[in-house]
Structure 1
Amino acid sequence: MTVTGTQLDDVTLVARARDGDAHSYEQLVTRYEGPIYRLALRMLANAADAEDVTQEAFLAAWRQLGQLQEDAAFVGWLYRSATNRCLNVIRSRKPLADSTPEEHAASGPDGKPEQQAETSAQLAALSTAMGRLTPEKRACWLLREVHGRSYDEIATTLGVSATTVRGRIARARAELAEVMSPWR
């Protein structure tokens, strides 16, 4: 929906959705389903689980929209819901074997085979390294490095202090850097 050619901001869409405007909520879903799905896919390394978590997070948000105290807090609330759902899935799993997620596609049809092979090896190493991080470190690292969330937002999302978040991210960066050092 546009007003004089500009997109409505999240706060307006949330307020309208809270008043029962399903179209406004659809716009929020369209705006955030990609980032939420990518977060879930990177945390879970499983497309089906990531789709389930994404759907569950948006469905729960729709059902609980009336409980949201501030419309501006919607995005953080959505990330928190998705992250917590991912952590629950991870905790319910048996220990992961070293496997690579489905997202290890080649760099593209125009890439050279050597580049594609190197890129594939890098992605496999990164995936393995991500799988070895604790779920909490993985969540912190993804929320910060991939989704650009602030330390305070991550702390609120995970229910820990900003200092804890900084420590987890520092340890995750160090572990990932060690594994990825051959590609520097």
Structure 2
Amino acid sequence: MTYLEDLSQQTDRDLLAAHCAGDQDAFGELFKRHKDRMWAVAVRTCRDPELAADAVQDGFISAFRRADSFRGDAQVTTWLHRIIVNACLDRLRRVKPTSELPEYELADRRDEHASTVVRLDVQEALGKIPEAQRLALTLVDMQGMSVAEAADVLEVAEGTIKSRCARGRAALAELLVDKHGEGYVH
């Protein structure tokens, strides 16, 4: 077995520990494992691919530099989510608010077109609900995190996450029904 295969067999915690101990390849393996998921969180949080790209870069640089701050009381992915979400929030605070969504080309095929329209409608509705609710919904409903993991990432109580998700879902349903009439939200 080669050295790189050894890295791919290690747990996230082992990789982070190896990075802190000076292994120059360990963090690269963590990045490779989690970059896509962190990108998805950033895009949903920022609602702007350029801001998301910057936030992911900022977040991974921060994680690389602060790896020794990982206490081990959560999963490495939860720790990374927290760092990426914070990087997104930092980027969003630096940008003047806008209600415009990035332009997306709609697909020609009818099914793809309908799917794209629904995604854009949901994205637009997400942009209209309070940030705290949007972040909770992004982590729980879109990223599949448990309530406990989302609470760790956002550094709030589990009950707060449940409440934000419930209020956010109700607000989304209302916005989507208002836009498309009854039956749009299942």
TM-score bucket (shorter structure): 0.7 to 0.9
> In the superposition, relative to structure 1, how do residues 86 and 2 fare at CA in structure 2: closer, same or farther (>3 Å)?
same
Residue 6 (structure 1) shift: 6.6
Partner of 1:91: 93
Give the aligned residue type for 2:158. A
User: Is contact 1:10-1:72 (8 Å) kept?
Assistant: no
User: Is contact 2:18-2:26 (8 Å) kept?
Assistant: yes
> In the superposition, relative to structure 1, how do residues 160 and 6 fare at CA in structure 2: closer, same or farther (>3 Å)?
closer
How large is the RMSD of aligned CA atoms in angstroms? 2.3
Give the counterpart of 2:146 among 136, 147, 150: 150
TM-score by length of 2: 0.84
Residue 96 (structure 1) shift: 2.2
SS across alignment from 2:144: coil
> In the superposition, relative to structure 1, how do residues 67 and 120 fare at CA in structure 2: closer, same or farther (>3 Å)?
closer
Give the aligned residue type for 1:159. E
User: Is contact 2:8-2:29 (8 Å) kept?
Assistant: no
Partner of 2:43: 41
Q: Structure 2 unaligned runs (5+)?
A: none
- Superposed CA deviations along residues 133-169 of structure 1, whole A, max 9, x for unmatched, are 2111111101111222221221222121111110100
Give the aligned residue type for 1:48. E
Aligned length: 177
> In the superposition, relative to structure 1, how do residues 125 and 38 fare at CA in structure 2: closer, same or farther (>3 Å)?
same
Partner of 2:83: 81
- Superposed CA deviations along residues 15-47 of structure 1, whole A, max 9, x for unmatched, are 211111121110100111111111111111111
- Sequence identity (%): 28
TM-score by length of 1: 0.85
Alignment of 1:163 with 2:159, yes or no, is yes
Q: Structure 1 unaligned runs (5+)?
A: 107-111
The CA distance in 1 between the partners of 2:105 and 2:136, in whole Å, is: 22
Give the aligned residue type for 2:82. R
SS across alignment from 1:2: helix
The CA distance in 2 between the partners of 1:90 and 1:23, in whole Å, is: 31
The CA distance in 2 between the partners of 1:8 and 1:49, in whole Å, is: 32
